Chain A
Amino acid sequence: MKCAQVRELFGAYWDDEITQGEREWIESHFAGCPACREEYEGYARTLELVGSLPREEAAPDLLERVLARTRRAAASPDRLPIPRAAWVPVTAAAALAMLVIAALSPWMPIRPRATKDANPATPAPREAVAILTPARTGESRMPGAASHATSRGGSLVADSLFDHSEDVDFILDPGTVRRGHVRPVSPHPSTVQGERAVISF
Protein backbone atom coordinates (compact mmCIF):
# COMPACT_ATOMS: atom_id res chain seq x y z
CA MET A 1 0.00 0.00 0.00
CA LYS A 2 2.80 2.36 0.88
CA CYS A 3 4.53 1.64 -2.46
CA ALA A 4 1.34 2.51 -4.36
CA GLN A 5 1.03 5.79 -2.46
CA VAL A 6 4.64 6.66 -3.17
CA ARG A 7 4.22 5.91 -6.89
CA GLU A 8 1.19 8.17 -7.01
CA LEU A 9 3.50 11.00 -5.99
CA PHE A 10 6.24 10.33 -8.57
CA GLY A 11 4.95 13.07 -10.86
CA ALA A 12 4.73 15.73 -8.20
CA TYR A 13 8.13 14.65 -6.89
CA TRP A 14 9.71 15.02 -10.34
CA ASP A 15 8.07 18.42 -10.84
CA ASP A 16 8.89 19.59 -7.35
CA GLU A 17 5.22 20.28 -6.76
CA ILE A 18 5.32 18.57 -3.42
CA THR A 19 5.48 19.52 0.26
CA GLN A 20 8.68 19.12 2.23
CA GLY A 21 6.99 16.45 4.35
CA GLU A 22 6.01 14.42 1.27
CA ARG A 23 9.53 14.74 -0.13
CA GLU A 24 11.11 13.40 3.04
CA TRP A 25 8.60 10.58 3.23
CA ILE A 26 9.27 9.50 -0.39
CA GLU A 27 13.04 9.64 0.03
CA SER A 28 12.96 7.60 3.22
CA HIS A 29 10.82 5.06 1.39
CA PHE A 30 13.31 4.88 -1.50
CA ALA A 31 16.09 4.15 0.99
CA GLY A 32 14.34 0.97 2.08
CA CYS A 33 12.53 -0.05 -1.15
CA PRO A 34 14.75 -0.88 -4.16
CA ALA A 35 11.67 -1.73 -6.27
CA CYS A 36 10.21 1.77 -5.93
CA ARG A 37 13.60 3.32 -6.47
CA GLU A 38 14.05 1.38 -9.69
CA GLU A 39 10.54 2.24 -10.76
CA TYR A 40 11.27 5.90 -10.22
CA GLU A 41 14.50 5.66 -12.21
CA GLY A 42 12.51 4.29 -15.15
CA TYR A 43 10.00 7.10 -14.71
CA ALA A 44 12.79 9.68 -14.73
CA ARG A 45 14.42 8.15 -17.82
CA THR A 46 11.09 8.32 -19.64
CA LEU A 47 10.79 12.01 -18.89
CA GLU A 48 14.36 12.61 -19.97
CA LEU A 49 13.53 10.98 -23.29
CA VAL A 50 10.48 13.21 -23.67
CA GLY A 51 12.55 16.24 -22.74
CA SER A 52 15.19 15.30 -25.31
CA LEU A 53 12.74 15.64 -28.18
CA PRO A 54 13.82 18.51 -30.42
CA ARG A 55 11.54 21.49 -30.59
CA GLU A 56 9.56 21.79 -33.78
CA GLU A 57 10.02 25.14 -35.46
CA ALA A 58 7.11 27.03 -36.96
CA ALA A 59 6.72 26.91 -40.72
CA PRO A 60 8.65 29.83 -42.27
CA ASP A 61 5.52 31.19 -43.91
CA LEU A 62 3.22 30.73 -40.94
CA LEU A 63 2.99 34.42 -40.08
CA GLU A 64 2.35 35.34 -43.70
CA ARG A 65 -0.41 32.75 -44.03
CA VAL A 66 -2.04 33.80 -40.78
CA LEU A 67 -2.00 37.47 -41.76
CA ALA A 68 -3.46 36.69 -45.18
CA ARG A 69 -6.33 34.86 -43.53
CA THR A 70 -6.96 37.54 -40.93
CA ARG A 71 -6.97 40.22 -43.64
CA ARG A 72 -9.57 38.24 -45.56
CA ALA A 73 -11.59 37.80 -42.39
CA ALA A 74 -11.40 41.51 -41.63
CA ALA A 75 -12.41 42.40 -45.20
CA SER A 76 -15.56 40.28 -45.05
CA PRO A 77 -16.62 40.14 -41.42
CA ASP A 78 -19.76 38.22 -42.27
CA ARG A 79 -17.55 35.26 -43.14
CA LEU A 80 -15.94 35.19 -39.73
CA PRO A 81 -16.48 31.86 -38.05
CA ILE A 82 -18.14 33.42 -35.03
CA PRO A 83 -19.89 30.73 -33.06
CA ARG A 84 -23.59 31.29 -32.68
CA ALA A 85 -25.59 30.38 -29.62
CA ALA A 86 -26.97 26.86 -29.91
CA TRP A 87 -30.58 28.01 -29.53
CA VAL A 88 -30.46 30.35 -32.53
CA PRO A 89 -30.64 27.75 -35.32
CA VAL A 90 -33.14 25.67 -33.37
CA THR A 91 -35.43 28.64 -32.86
CA ALA A 92 -35.01 29.72 -36.47
CA ALA A 93 -35.90 26.22 -37.67
CA ALA A 94 -38.96 26.13 -35.43
CA ALA A 95 -40.08 29.57 -36.64
CA LEU A 96 -39.59 28.51 -40.26
CA ALA A 97 -41.59 25.34 -39.69
CA MET A 98 -44.41 27.39 -38.16
CA LEU A 99 -44.41 29.77 -41.12
CA VAL A 100 -44.52 26.90 -43.61
CA ILE A 101 -47.39 25.25 -41.76
CA ALA A 102 -49.25 28.56 -41.57
CA ALA A 103 -48.67 29.25 -45.25
CA LEU A 104 -49.81 25.79 -46.35
CA SER A 105 -52.75 25.47 -44.01
CA PRO A 106 -55.40 26.85 -46.46
CA TRP A 107 -54.50 24.08 -48.89
CA MET A 108 -54.44 21.31 -46.34
CA PRO A 109 -57.27 18.88 -47.23
CA ILE A 110 -58.25 17.85 -43.72
CA ARG A 111 -59.10 20.55 -41.25
CA PRO A 112 -61.16 18.95 -38.51
CA ARG A 113 -60.29 21.67 -36.02
CA ALA A 114 -61.25 24.60 -38.22
CA THR A 115 -64.95 23.97 -37.75
CA LYS A 116 -64.54 23.45 -34.06
CA ASP A 117 -62.72 26.74 -33.77
CA ALA A 118 -65.46 28.52 -35.64
CA ASN A 119 -68.03 27.19 -33.21
CA PRO A 120 -66.88 25.17 -30.23
CA ALA A 121 -70.27 23.54 -29.98
CA THR A 122 -69.97 21.80 -33.33
CA PRO A 123 -67.35 19.06 -33.13
CA ALA A 124 -66.36 17.77 -36.55
CA PRO A 125 -66.86 14.04 -37.00
CA ARG A 126 -63.33 12.97 -37.78
CA GLU A 127 -64.23 9.79 -39.62
CA ALA A 128 -66.73 11.50 -41.88
CA VAL A 129 -64.24 14.15 -42.81
CA ALA A 130 -61.63 11.55 -43.53
CA ILE A 131 -63.99 9.69 -45.80
CA LEU A 132 -65.74 12.58 -47.48
CA THR A 133 -63.41 15.33 -48.41
CA PRO A 134 -65.07 18.45 -49.72
CA ALA A 135 -63.70 19.36 -53.11
CA ARG A 136 -64.27 23.03 -52.33
CA THR A 137 -62.05 23.95 -49.51
CA GLY A 138 -61.59 27.09 -47.50
CA GLU A 139 -63.92 28.86 -45.13
CA SER A 140 -65.24 31.22 -47.77
CA ARG A 141 -66.32 28.33 -49.95
CA MET A 142 -68.58 27.01 -47.18
CA PRO A 143 -70.42 30.03 -45.91
CA GLY A 144 -72.90 28.05 -43.95
CA ALA A 145 -70.54 25.47 -42.70
CA ALA A 146 -71.26 24.28 -39.21
CA SER A 147 -73.96 26.83 -38.86
CA HIS A 148 -76.71 24.33 -38.23
CA ALA A 149 -76.71 22.63 -34.91
CA THR A 150 -79.32 20.92 -32.85
CA SER A 151 -79.44 20.32 -29.17
CA ARG A 152 -79.43 16.68 -28.08
CA GLY A 153 -79.38 15.77 -24.45
CA GLY A 154 -78.26 19.21 -23.45
CA SER A 155 -75.29 19.28 -25.80
CA LEU A 156 -75.06 20.89 -29.16
CA VAL A 157 -74.55 18.47 -32.03
CA ALA A 158 -73.93 19.52 -35.60
CA ASP A 159 -76.46 18.21 -38.07
CA SER A 160 -74.31 19.15 -41.01
CA LEU A 161 -70.98 20.61 -41.79
CA PHE A 162 -72.17 22.29 -44.94
CA ASP A 163 -74.59 24.83 -46.15
CA HIS A 164 -77.84 23.19 -47.13
CA SER A 165 -78.71 25.96 -49.54
CA GLU A 166 -76.28 24.89 -52.22
CA ASP A 167 -74.87 21.73 -53.74
CA VAL A 168 -71.82 20.26 -52.08
CA ASP A 169 -69.28 18.49 -54.16
CA PHE A 170 -67.58 15.55 -52.44
CA ILE A 171 -64.62 13.49 -53.43
CA LEU A 172 -65.20 10.01 -52.09
CA ASP A 173 -62.26 8.23 -50.65
CA PRO A 174 -61.67 5.41 -53.18
CA GLY A 175 -60.47 2.94 -50.55
CA THR A 176 -63.54 3.46 -48.44
CA VAL A 177 -65.84 3.21 -51.43
CA ARG A 178 -64.25 -0.11 -52.39
CA ARG A 179 -64.75 -1.44 -48.88
CA GLY A 180 -68.37 -0.44 -49.12
CA HIS A 181 -68.40 1.87 -46.13
CA VAL A 182 -69.95 4.69 -48.11
CA ARG A 183 -72.73 4.11 -50.56
CA PRO A 184 -74.30 6.76 -52.65
CA VAL A 185 -77.59 6.13 -50.89
CA SER A 186 -79.19 9.23 -49.49
CA PRO A 187 -82.64 10.56 -48.81
CA HIS A 188 -81.59 13.58 -50.82
CA PRO A 189 -81.26 13.57 -54.56
CA SER A 190 -77.72 12.63 -55.44
CA THR A 191 -75.61 11.86 -58.39
CA VAL A 192 -72.55 9.73 -58.30
CA GLN A 193 -70.06 9.97 -61.10
CA GLY A 194 -67.10 7.70 -60.66
CA GLU A 195 -65.56 8.74 -57.40
CA ARG A 196 -67.30 12.05 -57.23
CA ALA A 197 -70.70 12.60 -55.71
CA VAL A 198 -72.75 15.78 -55.95
CA ILE A 199 -75.41 15.99 -53.31
CA SER A 200 -78.16 18.54 -53.72
CA PHE A 201 -80.11 19.71 -50.69
Chain B
Amino acid sequence: MAPDRDPAAPILSLSDEDLMGRVAEDDERAFPELVRRYQGRVTNLVSRVLNDRECADDLAQEVFVRVFVHRRNYRRGSKFSTWLFTIAANLAKNEIRRRVRRRNWFSLDALQEVLKDSAPQLADPTEGRESKMEREQLRDAVGRAITAVPEKYRLSLVLRDIEGLSYEEIAQALGIPGGTVRSRINRARSMLKRKLQPLLRKEGTP
Protein backbone atom coordinates (compact mmCIF):
# COMPACT_ATOMS: atom_id res chain seq x y z
CA MET B 1 0.00 0.00 0.00
CA ALA B 2 1.36 3.41 -0.95
CA PRO B 3 2.30 5.54 2.06
CA ASP B 4 -0.26 8.23 1.18
CA ARG B 5 -3.04 5.59 1.24
CA ASP B 6 -1.79 3.80 4.35
CA PRO B 7 -3.40 5.42 7.40
CA ALA B 8 -0.76 3.89 9.66
CA ALA B 9 2.15 5.38 7.71
CA PRO B 10 4.22 7.72 9.87
CA ILE B 11 3.26 11.30 9.17
CA LEU B 12 6.87 12.43 9.14
CA SER B 13 7.68 10.16 6.23
CA LEU B 14 4.97 11.55 3.97
CA SER B 15 5.66 14.04 1.21
CA ASP B 16 4.13 17.51 1.40
CA GLU B 17 1.63 16.55 -1.26
CA ASP B 18 0.57 13.38 0.55
CA LEU B 19 0.25 15.32 3.77
CA MET B 20 -1.95 17.88 2.11
CA GLY B 21 -4.07 15.07 0.74
CA ARG B 22 -4.49 13.85 4.30
CA VAL B 23 -5.43 17.35 5.46
CA ALA B 24 -8.14 17.42 2.78
CA GLU B 25 -9.42 14.14 4.23
CA ASP B 26 -9.50 15.66 7.72
CA ASP B 27 -6.61 13.67 9.14
CA GLU B 28 -5.90 15.76 12.23
CA ARG B 29 -2.24 14.73 12.41
CA ALA B 30 -1.34 15.98 8.96
CA PHE B 31 -1.99 19.70 9.20
CA PRO B 32 0.29 20.48 12.19
CA GLU B 33 3.13 18.68 10.41
CA LEU B 34 2.66 20.79 7.29
CA VAL B 35 2.65 23.97 9.39
CA ARG B 36 5.84 22.84 11.12
CA ARG B 37 7.53 22.21 7.79
CA TYR B 38 6.66 25.53 6.21
CA GLN B 39 6.13 28.04 8.99
CA GLY B 40 9.70 29.36 8.74
CA ARG B 41 9.64 29.78 4.96
CA VAL B 42 6.25 31.46 4.95
CA THR B 43 7.21 33.82 7.78
CA ASN B 44 10.48 34.68 6.06
CA LEU B 45 8.77 35.28 2.73
CA VAL B 46 6.12 37.66 4.02
CA SER B 47 8.55 39.30 6.38
CA ARG B 48 10.95 40.14 3.54
CA VAL B 49 8.19 41.27 1.22
CA LEU B 50 6.73 43.61 3.85
CA ASN B 51 9.83 44.32 5.95
CA ASP B 52 7.55 44.15 8.95
CA ARG B 53 8.13 41.33 11.36
CA GLU B 54 5.02 41.84 13.46
CA CYS B 55 2.73 41.89 10.47
CA ALA B 56 4.58 38.89 9.03
CA ASP B 57 3.59 36.78 12.04
CA ASP B 58 -0.07 37.62 11.59
CA LEU B 59 0.07 37.10 7.87
CA ALA B 60 1.87 33.77 8.19
CA GLN B 61 -0.87 32.65 10.54
CA GLU B 62 -3.48 33.75 8.02
CA VAL B 63 -1.73 31.82 5.24
CA PHE B 64 -1.99 28.55 7.14
CA VAL B 65 -5.56 29.18 8.20
CA ARG B 66 -6.43 29.65 4.54
CA VAL B 67 -4.63 26.47 3.61
CA PHE B 68 -6.86 24.67 6.12
CA VAL B 69 -10.07 26.41 5.12
CA HIS B 70 -9.46 25.78 1.42
CA ARG B 71 -8.01 22.30 1.97
CA ARG B 72 -10.50 20.68 -0.34
CA ASN B 73 -9.55 23.04 -3.16
CA TYR B 74 -6.00 21.68 -3.21
CA ARG B 75 -5.50 19.86 -6.49
CA ARG B 76 -3.92 16.48 -5.87
CA GLY B 77 -0.74 16.05 -7.83
CA SER B 78 0.15 19.73 -7.86
CA LYS B 79 3.17 20.83 -5.88
CA PHE B 80 2.12 21.82 -2.39
CA SER B 81 4.80 24.49 -1.89
CA THR B 82 3.72 26.28 -5.08
CA TRP B 83 0.11 26.32 -3.90
CA LEU B 84 1.21 27.53 -0.48
CA PHE B 85 3.36 30.31 -1.95
CA THR B 86 0.48 31.35 -4.19
CA ILE B 87 -1.65 31.91 -1.09
CA ALA B 88 1.20 33.66 0.73
CA ALA B 89 2.00 35.88 -2.27
CA ASN B 90 -1.65 36.86 -2.68
CA LEU B 91 -2.00 37.78 0.97
CA ALA B 92 1.27 39.73 0.89
CA LYS B 93 0.10 41.51 -2.24
CA ASN B 94 -3.19 42.44 -0.58
CA GLU B 95 -1.31 43.75 2.44
CA ILE B 96 0.98 45.88 0.27
CA ARG B 97 -2.03 47.33 -1.53
CA ARG B 98 -3.80 48.00 1.74
CA ARG B 99 -0.75 49.87 2.98
CA VAL B 100 -0.50 51.87 -0.21
CA ARG B 101 -4.16 52.84 0.15
CA ARG B 102 -3.56 53.95 3.71
CA ARG B 103 -0.33 55.72 2.81
CA ASN B 104 1.33 53.76 5.60
CA TRP B 105 4.20 53.22 3.32
CA PHE B 106 7.92 53.23 3.44
CA SER B 107 9.28 56.40 1.89
CA LEU B 108 12.35 56.75 -0.24
CA ASP B 109 13.51 59.54 2.05
CA ALA B 110 13.61 57.10 4.93
CA LEU B 111 15.72 54.75 2.84
CA GLN B 112 18.14 57.52 2.02
CA GLU B 113 18.47 58.25 5.73
CA VAL B 114 19.28 54.63 6.48
CA LEU B 115 21.79 54.44 3.67
CA LYS B 116 23.39 57.70 4.79
CA ASP B 117 23.81 56.30 8.29
CA SER B 118 25.01 52.87 7.23
CA ALA B 119 27.40 53.57 4.40
CA PRO B 120 30.13 55.58 6.17
CA GLN B 121 30.38 53.05 8.96
CA LEU B 122 30.59 50.17 6.54
CA ALA B 123 33.34 51.92 4.66
CA ASP B 124 35.25 52.96 7.76
CA PRO B 125 38.81 51.67 7.19
CA THR B 126 39.56 51.77 10.91
CA GLU B 127 37.05 49.02 11.48
CA GLY B 128 38.76 45.68 11.11
CA ARG B 129 35.50 43.80 11.01
CA GLU B 130 31.83 44.58 10.87
CA SER B 131 30.35 45.15 14.24
CA LYS B 132 27.01 43.64 15.07
CA MET B 133 25.42 47.05 14.83
CA GLU B 134 26.83 47.65 11.37
CA ARG B 135 25.57 44.35 10.15
CA GLU B 136 22.14 45.13 11.50
CA GLN B 137 22.16 48.52 9.84
CA LEU B 138 23.19 46.97 6.56
CA ARG B 139 20.45 44.38 6.77
CA ASP B 140 17.98 47.04 7.69
CA ALA B 141 19.01 49.06 4.65
CA VAL B 142 18.72 46.05 2.35
CA GLY B 143 15.35 45.10 3.85
CA ARG B 144 14.05 48.61 3.34
CA ALA B 145 15.44 48.78 -0.18
CA ILE B 146 13.52 45.60 -1.03
CA THR B 147 10.26 47.11 0.15
CA ALA B 148 10.95 50.16 -2.02
CA VAL B 149 10.77 47.95 -5.13
CA PRO B 150 7.24 48.01 -6.64
CA GLU B 151 5.05 45.11 -5.57
CA LYS B 152 4.85 43.18 -8.83
CA TYR B 153 8.62 43.07 -9.13
CA ARG B 154 9.23 42.59 -5.41
CA LEU B 155 7.28 39.35 -5.12
CA SER B 156 9.27 37.76 -7.93
CA LEU B 157 12.49 39.03 -6.36
CA VAL B 158 11.77 37.65 -2.90
CA LEU B 159 10.48 34.33 -4.20
CA ARG B 160 13.62 33.94 -6.27
CA ASP B 161 16.43 35.49 -4.24
CA ILE B 162 15.21 34.80 -0.73
CA GLU B 163 13.06 31.71 -1.07
CA GLY B 164 15.03 30.22 -3.93
CA LEU B 165 12.07 29.20 -6.09
CA SER B 166 12.77 28.34 -9.72
CA TYR B 167 11.46 30.60 -12.48
CA GLU B 168 8.86 27.98 -13.30
CA GLU B 169 7.64 27.75 -9.71
CA ILE B 170 7.40 31.53 -9.50
CA ALA B 171 5.42 31.58 -12.75
CA GLN B 172 2.97 29.08 -11.27
CA ALA B 173 2.76 30.78 -7.88
CA LEU B 174 2.11 34.21 -9.37
CA GLY B 175 0.13 33.01 -12.37
CA ILE B 176 2.34 34.76 -14.92
CA PRO B 177 4.31 33.48 -17.94
CA GLY B 178 7.92 32.34 -17.51
CA GLY B 179 9.22 35.13 -19.72
CA THR B 180 7.50 37.69 -17.52
CA VAL B 181 9.12 36.16 -14.44
CA ARG B 182 12.52 36.49 -16.05
CA SER B 183 12.04 40.13 -16.97
CA ARG B 184 10.47 41.02 -13.60
CA ILE B 185 13.32 39.48 -11.66
CA ASN B 186 15.88 41.28 -13.74
CA ARG B 187 14.02 44.56 -13.41
CA ALA B 188 13.62 44.14 -9.66
CA ARG B 189 17.29 43.44 -9.18
CA SER B 190 18.31 46.43 -11.26
CA MET B 191 16.01 48.66 -9.18
CA LEU B 192 17.44 47.22 -6.00
CA LYS B 193 20.96 47.75 -7.23
CA ARG B 194 20.23 51.41 -7.95
CA LYS B 195 18.74 51.85 -4.49
CA LEU B 196 21.70 50.22 -2.82
CA GLN B 197 24.23 51.98 -5.02
CA PRO B 198 25.60 54.17 -2.20
CA LEU B 199 26.34 51.07 -0.14
CA LEU B 200 27.89 49.24 -3.05
CA ARG B 201 30.20 52.15 -3.84
CA LYS B 202 31.40 52.42 -0.26
CA GLU B 203 31.87 48.68 -0.05
CA GLY B 204 33.84 48.70 -3.26
CA THR B 205 36.09 51.52 -2.08
CA PRO B 206 39.43 50.15 -0.96
Contact = CB atoms under 8 A, between A and B. Distances in A.
B198 to A, nearest CB: 12
Interface residues of A, number: 36
B162 A53 contact: yes
| Chain B residues touching A, range | 35 or more
Contacts of A7: 190
Contact of B39 (A52, A62, A73): A62
A62 B138 contact: no
Contact of A66 (B44, B65, B160): B65
A133 to B, nearest CB: 49
Contact of B65 (A8, A10, A46, A69): A69
A58 B167 contact: no
Interface in A76-124: 80-82
Nearest to B184: A11
A56 to B, nearest CB: 4
A45 B138 CA distance: 13
Contacts of A57: 40, 43-44
B42 interface: yes
Given A58-B42, A59-B43, A50 B65 contact: no
A49 interface: yes
B147 to A, nearest CB: 12
Contacts of B157: 50
Interface stretch (B11-19, B56-64, B78-86, B94-102): B56-64
Contacts of A183: none
A contact face: mostly helix, strand, loop, or mixed: helix
B200 A45 contact: yes
A134 to B, nearest CB: 53
B192 A58 contact: no
A47 interface: yes
Interface string B37-62: 00110111001100001001100110
Contacts of B186: 8-12
A66 B64 contact: yes
Contact of B196 (A46, A51, A62, A82): A46
Interface in A23-68: 42-43, 45-47, 49-59, 62-63, 65-67
B161 A51 contact: yes
A53 B199 CA distance: 15
A159 interface: no
A56 B53 contact: yes
Contacts of B39: 58, 62-63
Interface of A: 7-12, 14-15, 17, 42-43, 45-47, 49-59, 62-63, 65-67, 69-70, 73, 80-82
Given A43-B193, A57-B40, A58-B39, 14 more contacts: A7-B190, A8-B186, A42-B193, A42-B197, A45-B203, A49-B199, A50-B146, A56-B44, A56-B48, A57-B43, A62-B64, A67-B32, A67-B35, A70-B69
